[in-house]
Amino acid sequence: MCAVCVFCVSLYSRYPFTSPGLGNMASTDNVYFILTKKDEWIAFPKAGSIFFMPENKFISEMKKSSPPLKLRMRLMKHHSGREYDLETNDMEQLCVEEVELLQALPDDAERLRCFRERHDLQAAMQLVIGTEVTVEEAGKKFRGVIQYTGPITSASISCPIPGSFFGIELQFVQQLSVAHTLQQPFGHLLYLLSVYIHNRIFGVYVFFFLDQTDHSTAELQTVPPMSTEQVEQLLTGRMKGIQGHCNSCYMDAALFSLFSCSSVLDSMLFKSTPPQDAPIQRTLLNDIVNPLRSNGFVEGKHIMKLRQQLQKHGYSQSFTTDEKDPEEFLSVIMHHILALDPLLKLSAAGKVQESYCYQIFLDQNHRLVLPTVQQLLEHSFHSAGLKLAEVPSCLILQMPRFGKKFKMFDKIIPSLELDVTDLLSEGPQQCMVCGTLAQIECIDCFKDPLFSPTGFKVFCRNCSEQVHSHPQRLSHKPESLEIPKGYVERKNPHTMIRDKMELFAVLCIETSHYVSFVKYGPNTEDWIFFDSMADRQGETDGFNIPEVHPCPEVGEYLKMSPSELAHQAPRDMKGVAKRLFCDAYMCLYQSTTMCLYR
C-alpha cells in the first residue's frame, strides 16, 4: 500500500507564450484574463487576479468599429457578483489550461509572477498520469507517481473553472511530519510540503494516508551532466541556464561552466562536510546542480539562497549584493566550506605548493603577440621556476590581466588541448630531437626559436651534447631530469603516452559582466554560450532572463592557424566568437583520466 497525496502545483518561471484563439475558450462559454497591472491608488482588485466575461459578449465588443478601451468583467471566486470596468491594456488573455493551473495558487502576486515568468507553467501543463515526481519533507525525499489530475471542487457561477490538482501515489513512505494544515473539501487534512518534478521545485498542498508497511526511503542521487543530445533538447533557449540576480553573474557563469556538462568536480557535492556546512552543500546539489542538469534551468532565488548562506557563514558581508571574482567564490566553496583537496600541486625548488586556481603571470620579455593558453602557461611556469607535482584532474587557469579592465593581449587562443607532459616535475619525457627517452632539460633553451618558438626543451644525453656544443649555447646550464625507475632501460620510448588535458569551459568578462562558453560534445562545433542576464523583463521589480544558445562559429575560429586568427578583426568575427578570444578571463581544463581517481 502507498500514500495518496493531492496537491496544487505552485509555479515559478517563464515560458514562451502565444495568446490563444477564441476556439480554445469555447468549452466554458467564457473568456479569461489576468490583470497584469492596476492603478496604484486602487487597493482592489490586485494585479494577478483572474477575471472572466461571457464569450458572446466579448466577441460582440471586439466586432465594434472602434475596439473598446475597457471591458466589463467579473472577478473569479468573488461571490458578490460585482463587475469591474478594466483597461484592456492592463490585461492579458488566458487559455483554459492556464486558468486551471493559476487558479490553484492562493496568492495574487505569486500568480502574476508565475504568469510572467511562465517557464514552469508550461512544464506543469505537460504533466500527465504516470509522471514520476519526488516529494521532499524535512530534508527527506520520497518518490511518487501522478495518479490523478483534475479539480477537487465543483465549478460554480463565481468560479466557472476550479483549480487543477494532481494526485500522487507516494512510495517508501514511513512517516511525514505536519508542516502546515488546512481544511480540505474532502474533510482530510492538507499538509504543505515541497515537491520536485524532475528536480524542479514546486510548492504543494498535500493530504495523504500513511502506509504502515515497513519501507525504506528512496535516496536521490546526483543527476549526471548533460549529454550532447540533452543540451540541444533541454538547455538551449531563453530562460535556460542559471537566472542572474543582483550582481550574481560571476557565480552563475562559474557554476554553469563547472557543472552543466562536466562531472570533474562532482566529488565536492558528496564529500563529508561538517554539520554547519552541510546546508550549503545541499543547496549546491539539490537546488542548483541537479535542476540545471535535469531541466536546464535554475531560478535566481536559489543562487541568492547560496549567497545568503555564504554571507551568514561570515566569509563576506557583501556576498548578496556586490560582484565578486569567480576565483574568490570558488576558493570559498572548495577550500573554506567543502574542504576539497587542492586541485593543483606545484613543485618549486623541491617544495610542493597547493592551490585551487592558477594565475598566469608573465615577465616583461615574453615577446608573445597572439598567444595560446599552452604558451602562456609554459611561459608562466618558466619565469616562476614552477613544475606540476602531478597531473591535476581539473586545472583552472586565470588569464594574464591587469585587473578586470586592462588586458595584456588583444586576443588569446584557448588551447583545446593542454599538453602538460613537459610541465611535470617527474615522469618520462621524449627528446625533442630524436624522440628517445629524455634525460636532460635546458631552461636556457626555452626561448630558442631554432627548435620551436617557445616551450620547455628536453633532450637525451647525445642530443644535448650536440645542441650545446654550438657556440651560442656554450653558456647554457642543462640539468638532469628525474626519471622514474624502469624507464631508463626502455627500448621503445616512442610509445610513451603524453599527458593532456581538454578544455571544457571558458569564463569571459566584458565591462564587469561575466559570461561563459562551454564545450558540450565531441565535435568541433559543439559549443554553447551562456549569459545569466541576457535580457530583462520589467524594471526595478522585474527579473533577468538567462539565455543559452549554440555558437558553432567558435569551433570554426579555433580550427584556424594563429596566422589566420591574427588577421581576424574582432568586430568582424561571427556571432559571439569575439568574446571568447578577446575577453577570456578563466579557462577550465579537465583530465578525463585523472578525474576517475579523484
Q: What is the mean pLDDT of residues 421-449?
A: 82
Among residues of the chain, what percentage have pLDDT more than 70? Answer: 76
Containing H/E element for 411? none
Please state, rounded to an integer, the average pLDDT across all residues of the chain: 79
Which DSSP state fits 65? S
What is 425-498's CATH topology?
Answer: 30s Ribosomal Protein S18 (4.10.640)
pLDDT interval class at 421 (50, 70, 90): confident
Alpha helical stretches, state H, 224-372: 228-230, 249-259, 278-282, 290-295, 300-312, 326-331
What pLDDT shows up at residue 290?
Answer: 93
Q: Which three cell numbers mark 119?
A: 517557464
Q: What is the mean pLDDT of residues 386-400?
A: 93
**Architecture of the CATH domain 225-424+499-597:** Alpha-Beta Complex (3.90)
Domain limits, CATH 3.90.70.10, in the chain = 225-424+499-597
pLDDT in tens, 66-79: 877 889 999 987 76
Which DSSP state fits 390? S
What pLDDT shows up at residue 43?
Answer: 57
For the range 321-324, what are the long-range contacts, defined as Cβ-Cβ under 8 Å and sequence gap of 24 or more?
321/246, 321/247, 322/247, 323/247, 323/249, 323/250, 323/512, 324/250, 324/251
What pLDDT shows up at residue 241?
Answer: 96
What pLDDT shows up at residue 515?
Answer: 97
pLDDT in tens, 21-71: 323 333 458 999 999 887 665 556 888 899 999 998 998 888 887 877 889
Catalytic residues: 249, 513
Q: What is the mean pLDDT of residues 231-255?
A: 94
Residue ranges with strand state E in 511-594: 513-519, 527-537, 543-550, 584-590
Instruction: Say if CB 303 and CB 242 are below 8 A apart.
Output: yes
Q: Residue 153: which of 94, 207, 103, 203 has the closest Cα?
A: 103
480: pLDDT strictly greater than 50: yes
CB atoms within 10 A of CB 217: 13
Q: Which three cell numbers mark 547?
A: 539565455
Task: Report how far residue 65's alpha carbon sits from residue 81's, in angstroms, rounded to the nearest whole number.
Answer: 29
Instruction: Say if CB 368 and CB 378 are below 8 A apart.
Output: no
- Dihedral angle sign, alpha carbons of residues 334, 336, 337, 338: positive
- Beta sheet of 351-355, edge-to-edge order: 351-355, 344-348, 387-388
What pLDDT shows up at residue 144?
Answer: 64
Rounded to two decimals, the pTM is 0.63
Task: Report how far residue 40's alpha carbon sits from residue 37's, in angstroms, rounded to the nearest whole number.
Answer: 9
Instruction: Say if CB 547 and CB 253 are below 8 A apart.
Output: no
